[in-house]
């Protein structure tokens, strides 16, 4: 057991509940461009180390950066999607610090004149909607990567890969409007969804395309002023974010309860130890000596550019959810499930276009399909059943060619074999049994086997009827037409 964790969880719930947390998030997202922010090098993830470099991103003397137009367009798109005011004039600055993975000796980042300000996004938690302010959104470039492990001589050497040097990022800084780890989680999730829908970033957290730092403080409920905050870095998964915030909030309450004061500092989430720890002071320097980058012109965003970005803005998640409710008569819950990610929403709409009834498709995708994908640990992009193939299956069910029960079996087989519904129905003999004679033969066998239940039914116990239906369905592998089964059984049971 980890000692620090045990210590903080010893705070009594009634003490914890006297405090509230104040949280703001700083999120870095890698823009989905083919080339880097200020040079023509590829941004492709996973290429051989140091293969995507040039004098500009290596910071060689005399090299001149040129802003990537696509990166600016994506940053503007994100700004509009997050309801920000776009600044007519913004400027890149040099943020000076030394680190081996930063060959220029400075990061290029918008500082005193950011690209956009005063935005917001809305989170929904347990049916309640809350607006979270966005202070600013600015552009910057990424540093390279230091590789401290994975090599035979990693105990003696660190390796550096400069491929990530100069990759375009946006940083989105929220207002300190979040009060709980759950709200922070919802904020990051909503932000990720918006950036994915707008194709601003692939938001792949494993590849580092979306990274998160948090500013956290606590205060007694109702206190007018914020407490002293700590910055927690390295929250690069939703799980880390939740755990680190829970830990940090309890830690700060513990400090205050024991009569101490929270230190303003930068802390790191230690994944292995499950706690936040102060960074060694030499690892962060507060004086970056920012100054305007003399090699880059200020960015002037004219109205017609903003209008053009607005015109080609993809449909945002909230709008798509509302449209699903309106256009396909789905419940808000189903619409929420289907629009949780853009690929799933696209899949659903493709199935509907291919002829699937919308409500049925929503049910099947939300339950059967997601469950099976989840079991296999797969994403919708790897789904072995195409939207067209699902539509075909649902039409077989709707038309009564197969029962819903058989449909689920056919669907399972489609998942495993990638064969079409028609093919599986023909091969496995799943077609619905609609011949009254055949159903009657089964019904008579079932009835003959259970004289006790027949007696109960005849003495007025209607409940046993379900037993007979179940038996007939079992004997016919769920393929008998349910309505016919009901009719035939009633007739057979009523005969004296
Ligand atoms: Zn380059």
DSSP-derived secondary structure for 361-429: HHHHIIIIIHHHHHHHT--GGG-SS-HHHHHHHHHHHHTTSS-HHHHHHHHHHHHHH---HHHHHHHHT
CA 86, CA 301: separation in Å to the nearest integer?
8
CA of 41 from ligand 1 middle (Å) equals 4
Instruction: Give the Cβ contact number of residue 145 at 10 Å.
Output: 16
CA of 169 from ligand 1 middle (Å) equals 15
- The angle, 0 to 180 degrees and rounded to 10, between the axes of the packed helices 387-398 and 404-417 is 160
Res. 1 pLDDT band, cuts 50 70 90 = very low
CA of 207 from ligand 1 middle (Å) equals 20
Please give the pLDDT value at position 7.
Answer: 46
CA of 35 from ligand 1 middle (Å) equals 8
CA of 141 from ligand 1 middle (Å) equals 11
User: Per-residue pLDDT tens for 113-154?
Assistant: 999 999 999 999 988 999 999 999 999 999 999 888 888 998
CA of 94 from ligand 1 middle (Å) equals 17
CA of 382 from ligand 1 middle (Å) equals 33
CA of 282 from ligand 1 middle (Å) equals 29
CA of 42 from ligand 1 middle (Å) equals 8
The sign of the CA dihedral 388, 390, 392, 398 is negative
CA of 40 from ligand 1 middle (Å) equals 6
CA of 284 from ligand 1 middle (Å) equals 26
Q: Mean per-residue pLDDT for 192-208?
A: 92
Query: With contact defined as beta carbons under 8 Å apart, do 265 and 229 qualify?
Result: no
CA of 90 from ligand 1 middle (Å) equals 23
CA of 143 from ligand 1 middle (Å) equals 12
CA of 45 from ligand 1 middle (Å) equals 14
Judged against a pLDDT cut of 80, whether residue 283 lies above it is answered with no
Is 381 or 292 the better-scoring residue by pLDDT? 292
Judged against a pLDDT cut of 80, whether residue 265 lies above it is answered with yes
CA of 12 from ligand 1 middle (Å) equals 54
CA of 154 from ligand 1 middle (Å) equals 27
* CB burial of residue 307 (10 Å; 0-12, 13-18, 19+): exposed
CA angle in degrees (0–180, nearest 5) for 445-449-453: 115
User: Per-residue pLDDT tens for 77-101?
Assistant: 999 999 999 999 999 999 998 889 9
DSSP-derived secondary structure letter, 316 = P
CA distances from 447 to 58, 324, 329, 416 (A): 83, 47, 43, 37
CA distances from 419 to 72, 196, 228, 370, 401 (A): 45, 31, 61, 19, 18
CA of 93 from ligand 1 middle (Å) equals 19
CA 189, CA 183: separation in Å to the nearest integer?
10
CA of 291 from ligand 1 middle (Å) equals 22
Q: Which of 180-184, 225-229, 458-462 has the lowest mean pLDDT?
A: 458-462
CA of 136 from ligand 1 middle (Å) equals 27
CA of 165 from ligand 1 middle (Å) equals 8
- Calculated CA dihedral for residues 478, 480, 481, 482, nearest 10 degrees: -60
What is the percentage of the chain residues whose pLDDT exceeds 90? 52
Q: Mean per-residue pLDDT for 366-381?
A: 87
Please give the pLDDT value at position 461.
Answer: 84
CA of 52 from ligand 1 middle (Å) equals 7
CA of 283 from ligand 1 middle (Å) equals 27
Is the pTM for the entire model greater than 0.75? yes
Q: Which residue has the tokens 């080609």?
A: 312
Rg (CA), the chain: 30
């Amino acid at each position: 057991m980890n000692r620090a964790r045990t210590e903080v969880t010893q705070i009594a719930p009634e003490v914890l509940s006297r405090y509230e947390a104040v949280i703001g998030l700083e999120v870095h997202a890698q823009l989905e461009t083919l080339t880097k922010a200020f040079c023509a090098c590829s941004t492709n993830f996973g290429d051989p180390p140091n293969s995507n470099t040039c004098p500009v991103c290596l910071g060689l003397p005399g090299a001149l950066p040129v802003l990537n137009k696509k990166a600016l367009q994506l940053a503007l798109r994100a700004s509009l999607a997050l309801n920000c005011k776009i600044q007519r004039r913004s400027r890149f600055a040099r943020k000076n610090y030394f680190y081996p993975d930063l060959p220029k000796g400075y990061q290029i980042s918008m500082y005193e004149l950011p690209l956009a300000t005063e935005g917001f996004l809305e989170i929904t938690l347990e049916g309640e909607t809350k607006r979270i302010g966005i202070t600013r959104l600015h552009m910057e470039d990424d540093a390279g990567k230091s590789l401290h492990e994975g090599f035979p001589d990693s105990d003696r050497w660190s390796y550096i890969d400069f491929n990530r040097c100069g990759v375009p990022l946006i940083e989105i800084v929220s207002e300190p409007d979040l009060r709980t780890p759950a709200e922070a989680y919802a904020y990051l999730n909503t932000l990720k969804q918006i950036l994915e829908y707008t194709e601003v970033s692939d938001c792949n957290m494993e590849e580092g395309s979306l990274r998160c730092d948090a500013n956290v403080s606590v205060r007694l409920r109702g206190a007018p002023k914020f407490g002293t905050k700590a910055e927690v870095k390295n929250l690069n998964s939703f799980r880390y974010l939740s755990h680190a915030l829970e830990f940090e909030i309890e830690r700060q309450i513990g400090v205050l309860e024991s009569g101490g004061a929270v230190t303003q500092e930068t802390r790191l989430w230690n994944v292995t130890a499950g706690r936040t720890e102060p960074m060694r002071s030499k690892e962060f320097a507060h004086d970056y000596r920012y100054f305007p980058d003399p090699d880059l012109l200020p960015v002037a965003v004219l109205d017609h550019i903003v209008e053009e970005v607005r015109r080609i803005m993809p449909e945002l998640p909230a709008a798509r959810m509302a449209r699903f409710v309106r256009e396909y008569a789905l419940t808000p819950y189903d619409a929420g499930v289907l629009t949780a990610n853009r690929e799933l929403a696209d899949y659903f709409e493709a199935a509907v276009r291919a002829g699937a009834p919308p409500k049925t498709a929503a049910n099947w995708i939300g339950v059967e399909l997601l469950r099976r994908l989840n079991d296999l640990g797969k994403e919708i992009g790897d789904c072995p059943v195409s939207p067209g193939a699902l539509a075909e299956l649902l039409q077989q069910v709707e038309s009564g060619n197969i029962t819903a029960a058989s449909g689920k079996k056919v669907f399972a087989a489609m998942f495993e074999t990638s064969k079409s519904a028609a093919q599986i129905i023909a091969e496995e003999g799943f077609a619905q049994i609609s011949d009254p004679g055949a159903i009657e033969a089964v019904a008579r066998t079932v009835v003959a086997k259970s004289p006790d239940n027949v007696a109960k039914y005849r003495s007025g116990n209607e409940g046993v009827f379900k037993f007979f239906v179940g038996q007939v369905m079992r004997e016919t592998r769920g393929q008998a037409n349910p309505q016919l089964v009901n009719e035939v059984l009633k007739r057979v049971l009523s005969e004296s």
